[in-house]
Amino acid sequence: MSDQARSFHKIAFVSSQTPEAEAARARLVVRYGDVSEDDADVIVALGGDGLMLQTLHRFRDRGLPIYGMHRGTVGFLMNTFREDGLPERLAAALPVTIHPLLMEVVDAQGVRHRAPAINEVSLWRQSYQAAKLRISIDGRVRLEELICDGIIVATPAGSTAYNLSAHGPILPLGTALLALTPISPFRPRRWRGALVPDKARIDIAVLEADKRPVSAAADHFEVRDIIAVTTRLDTSSSIDMLFDPDHGLDERILREQFVY
């Protein structure tokens, strides 16, 4: 048995609060034990993609890989749930390193805010008035004026979440790209978003901020009445997700893109 397999015997289980997920956790704890998070070599998360997002934030930069099993509603980022052979599955699992986006925001009072986003950084209009935004990539203005309900900057991990519902592209995990997806664009009508290198710095300026107030969020952290947002990949921060070799995420990504 490899060192990796031996280390993965020290499992800490977390679950969502649904009866299905809690019952699954109770059965797995009886079967495999449950160590404290401080003593664990791996975290097994039971739930859906929402629980996975919470777990990734909670254990970011702690050196603990996260292995998800689907006991929730949406499970793009989760492995198939099975109770048998968990240590062997963990030993054979393939790691994918996730780097969060770093959102830096300036609000209308000039206060600066910073927050990480594993799924996406999102901007939305706060009133009946459409947002008016200017988008720059690496210091060069690429879109002088975008009139819309908002815009999303999504990581590959987040591309199957809010980004997908806004008709943005799905990015396979490990892809060195970010999806820039408008929400209900009004002008220019034909702009449907862009794919940008994940090393790029994306600056979004809010035009007419007094008349057209806008908020910004990094996953669950929101700032209101903003005037500017900068976002970039934070390569100094990371967490590993573990996937079964036959996880089938690529197949699910293809299937989602051919739904009609």
Highest mean pLDDT among 55-59, 73-77, 159-163: 55-59
Token pair of 92, please?
């054979």
Whether 146 shows a pLDDT value over 50: the answer reads yes
3, 34, 39, 49: the catalytic one is: 49
34 carries an active-site annotation = no
Across the range 15-23, mean pLDDT stands at 94
Q: Please report, rounded to a whole number, the percentage of residues in the chain having pLDDT higher than 70.
A: 92
Whether 4 shows a pLDDT value over 70: the answer reads no
| Binding positions for NAD(+) | 49-50, 119-120, 149, 157, 160-165
Across the range 81-107, mean pLDDT stands at 94
Q: Predicted confidence band at 127 (pLDDT cuts at 50, 70, 90)?
A: very high
Token pair of 239, please?
């967490």
* DSSP-assigned states of every residue in 140-179: EEEEEEEEESEEEEE-TTTTTTHHHHTTPPP--TT-SEEE
Q: Which amino acid is at 228?
A: A
Q: Which domains does the chain have, with CATH numbers?
A: 3-98+238-257 (3.40.50.10330), 101-233 (2.60.200.30)
User: What is the sign, positive or negative, of the torsion defined by CA atoms of 102, 104, 105, 111?
Assistant: positive
Q: Predicted confidence band at 11 (pLDDT cuts at 50, 70, 90)?
A: very high
What stretch of H or E contains 88? helix 86-92
> Per-residue pLDDT tens for 196-241?
999 999 999 999 999 999 999 999 999 999 999 999 999 999 999 9
| Binding positions | 49-50, 119-120, 149, 157, 160-165
- Of 24, 73, 28, the closest CA to residue 48 belongs to 73
Token pair of 50, please?
């929402």
